[in-house]
């Protein structure tokens, strides 16, 4: 049993949090786990669809081979997400935008929960399940919860696919470059709820650390980035994050 106490947070981190003006946060699937969103790796509750692991169904090969099956998987995920709410970790990060002079929230998540919690200008490195994109001209279409999703591009008649970044695909133009610039300039960097296995996202805390930032990880488990971090807060994001600003 883990008892969360505010003395989990070091005086050093509290001091840096109080005085930092440029802060960058990188989040991953773990931040949404307490909202009921399955993570991708580990933890027992991992994403599998009709017996297929997520890296098979969420692959560029599957988009080419069987786009309707891919849509079925994403339609299912949106139907689940529609019933879920942001948790205290999402809300705490939304609040941090007003605490620091320059606050950058970079997420690998495609679930839209940071926006739902009120965060603005979120850098969504891996896209969003709430958008579709034309396979021919790349025009992007919003998917409104509860409404029928568009399936054909009105501009060119091309098929639409989920606007998410699958393995081996390029990240949205400019998104990583802006995030990397902010990582280079930040004084304090938080890495929250990510297994830190997927690049280039996992490279952001490395950039921040190399440029002199204090790097803090929030995760119930250790990751390949833990050793690089100045501080590791072992616990759930929804329990740990609200303690940091106390
Ligand atoms: C909690 C918690 C709680 C639980 N609180 N925490 C350099 C080296 C090697 C390989 C590469 C490299 N650079 C690029 C690559 C290739 C590849 C890659 O990284 N492969 C590695 C796996 C080896 N990267 C790419 O292909 C990327 N594209 C790219 O680089 O383009 C340029 C290029 C193109 C072509 C050729 C060469 C270069 C694209 C990556 C796209 C990732 N897409 C996915 C799927 C999205 C669609 C979908 O949703 O279906 O994105 S994969 C999946 O992993 C998803 C996630 O965003 C991503 C990261 O996962 P995340 O968020 O870390 O989640 P988990 O589940 O792994 O971890 C959860 C964590 O939470 C755990 O640690 C738990 O402990 C923790 N947790 N409860 C806090 N309550
Ligand atoms: Zn089009």
Token representation of residue 157: 């008649």
Q: How confident is the model at residue 48 (pLDDT cuts 50, 70, 90)?
A: low
CB of 221 closer than 6 angstroms to any ligand 1 atom:
yes
pLDDT of residue 7: 77
Give me the pLDDT at residue 146, please: 86
Helix, strand, coil percentages, rounded to 5, for the chain:
35, 20, 45
Ligand 1: residue whose CA is nearest its atom 73: 195
- 201 Cα to the center of ligand 1, angstroms: 7
Q: Which ligand is nearest to the CA of 155?
A: 2
User: Counting ligands in written order, which one lies closest to the CA of residue 153?
Assistant: 2
Q: 195: Cβ below 6 Å to ligand 1?
A: yes
- Average pLDDT (168-180) is 94
Task: Supply the mean pLDDT for the chain.
Answer: 93
* Residues paired with residue 161 on neighbouring β-strands, in sequence order: 133
Q: What pLDDT was estimated at residue 47?
A: 58
Give me ligand 1 centre to Cα 26, in Å: 12
Mutate to test the pocket of ligand 1, among 114, 198, 216 (most ligand atoms within 8 A of CB): 198
Rounded distance, CA 62 to CA 79, Å?
Answer: 21
Residues in CB range of 244: below 8 A, 6 or more apart: 9, 13, 14, 17, 92
Mean pLDDT, rounded, for 69-86 = 94
Ligand nearest 159 Cα, by number? 2
What's the pLDDT band for 46 if we cut at 50, 70, 90? low
In Å, how far from its chain's centre is CA 27?
Answer: 4
CA distances from 105 to 58, 145, 186 (A): 24, 24, 12
Active site residues: 126
Q: Ligand 1 atom 78: the closest Cα is on which residue?
A: 30
Q: What is the pLDDT of residue 56?
A: 86
Number of H helices, E strands in the chain: 9, 11
CA distance 132 to 116: 18
CB of 40 sitting under 6 A from ligand 1? yes
Q: Is the per-residue pLDDT at 15 higher than 70?
A: yes
Asked if residue 43 has its Cβ within 6 Å of ligand 1, the reply is yes
Q: For residue 8, what are its two tokens?
A: 């989990």
Over the stretch 94-147, which tens digit does the pLDDT of each residue have?
Answer: 999 999 999 999 999 999 999 999 999 999 999 999 999 999 999 999 999 989
Q: What is the pTM of this model?
A: 0.95
In our burial notation (b when 16+ CB lie closer than 10 A, e otherwise), range 165-190 reads: bbeeeebbeebbeebbebbeebbbbb
Ligand 1 within 6 A of CB of 220: yes
């Amino acid at each position: 049993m883990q008892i969360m106490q505010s003395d989990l947070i070091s005086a050093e981190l509290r001091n840096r949090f109080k005085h930092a003006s440029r802060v960058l946060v990188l989040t991953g699937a773990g931040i949404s786990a307490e909202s009921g969103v399955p993570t991708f790796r580990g933890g027992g509750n991992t994403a599998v669809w009709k017996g297929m692991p997520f890296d098979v169904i969420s692959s560029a090969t599957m988009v080419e081979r069987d786009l309707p099956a891919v849509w079925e998987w994403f339609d299912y995920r949106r139907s689940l997400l529609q019933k879920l709410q942001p948790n205290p970790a999402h809300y705490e990060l939304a609040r941090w935008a007003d605490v620091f002079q320059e606050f950058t929230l970079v997420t690998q998540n495609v679930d839209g929960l940071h926006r739902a919690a009120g965060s603005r200008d979120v850098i969504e490195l891996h896209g969003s399940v709430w958008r579709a994109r034309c396979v021919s001209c790349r025009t992007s279409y919003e998917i409104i919860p509860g409404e029928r999703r568009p399936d054909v591009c009105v501009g060119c008649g091309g098929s639409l696919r989920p606007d998410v970044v699958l393995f081996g695909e390029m990240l949205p133009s400019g998104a990583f470059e802006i995030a990397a610039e902010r990582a280079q300039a930040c004084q304090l960097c938080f890495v929250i709820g990510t297994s830190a296995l997927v690049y280039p996202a996992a490279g952001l805390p490395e950039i921040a650390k190399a440029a002199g930032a204090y790097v803090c990880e929030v995760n119930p488990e250790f990751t390949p980035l833990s050793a690089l971090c100045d501080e590791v807060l072992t616990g759930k994001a929804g329990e740990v994050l609200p303690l940091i600003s106390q």
